[in-house]
Amino acid sequence: MDLVKNSRSVIVVTRDGYMKRMPLKTFESQRRGTRGKRGIDTSSEDNEIAHCFTCNDHDTLLMVTQKGVAYGLRAYQVPTASRTAKGTPIPSVLPIKSDENINSILPVSKFSEDEFIVLVTEYGWIKKTPLAAFEKLSCRGLIIASMEEGDRLMFTHLCKDEDSVLLGSKLGKATRFAVSKLRATSRTSRGVRSMKLKEGDSIAGMNILCNGKHTNDEYILVVTSKGFGKRVPTTEFRTQARGGQGVVSINFKIKTDGGDSVTCLRTVKEDDEVLIITEKGIMVRQ
């Protein structure tokens, strides 16, 4: 690993099981509203973007499947490919079963003693586990959560006890509560309820607000499936008790033809850049 330069890269994982790594400089900054550049080969209708993120090449990638199994992989071990290439099949890199899908990927630079991993399922179950429990995670895989039938593990994040969790649902609700209110549990536990969800609703995004403080320079970026987005100051999301209904995060403009829904809630600052990707692989960096 010492011979590998610790550069910044963009890693893309598709829904039909391909992954690739590209240098961050592949995508130069563009103006808002531009069409963007093609980021994957879209010759296959199933080759839609599932995950896209930046990391250092020396980072450990905790790749978690919907069934609660995690695999450990160094970022530089992800094969590199061109911007329009399809990528490498995941089973050739990790021993993932045919009925497993990677639903969450967490880059980790250092396994600190005072850090935890928070995991959230689609039905709203949440748990907190010490990060040290995953230090020896290998590409062979390890069960990290137990789930009820039909549920899926959706999000994983690093946090500390002084931080707070902000969750958002597809129907536009959001709730915020302190990480310290979550009891640290074992690697295979299911966890507790994070928020009350209406029928047909599910968790769309999770964020960790560092130090649990209300800051004026931090925002929540909300993006919908129909292409609408906005920034909301984190100060508008007050800390509540875990398990509540939350507050409204966005009102949808499109309510016909199936309506709109939240697809992403992400913590941002004004000097950050955003890389937005459609399901067909069109990327815009702004």
Cα distance between residue 248 and residue 18, in whole Å: 36
CA 132 to CA 112: how far, in whole Å?
7
Tokens describing residue 168 = 């958002």
What lies within 8 Å, CB to CB, of 194 at 6+ separation is 120, 124, 125, 126, 165, 167, 175, 203, 242, 243
pLDDT at 204: 92
CATH classification of 8-285 is 2.120.10.90, yes or no? yes
Could you tell me how far CA 19 lies from the centroid of its own chain? 16
Q: Name, in order, each residue with C-beta under 8 angstroms of 27's C-beta and a sequence gap of 6 or more.
A: 10, 37, 39, 83, 275, 283, 285
Query: Which residues in the chain show pLDDT less than 50?
Result: none
- pLDDT, one tens digit per residue, over 207-246 is 998 865 556 688 999 999 888 888 998 888 888 899 888 8
Q: Distance between alpha carbon 44 and the CA centroid of its chain, in Å?
A: 24
DSSP of 11-23, one letter per residue? EEEETTSEEEEEE
Which pLDDT does position 215 carry in this prediction?
Answer: 61
Task: State residue 139's pLDDT score.
Answer: 82
d(CA 276, CA 81): 20
Domain borders along the chain are: 8-285
pLDDT at residue 97 in the model: 78
Strand ordering across the sheet containing 247-248: 203-209, 164-169, 173-178, 247-248
C-alpha distances (whole Å) from 191 to each of 119, 121, 183 are: 9, 10, 9
Amino acid occupying residue 39: G
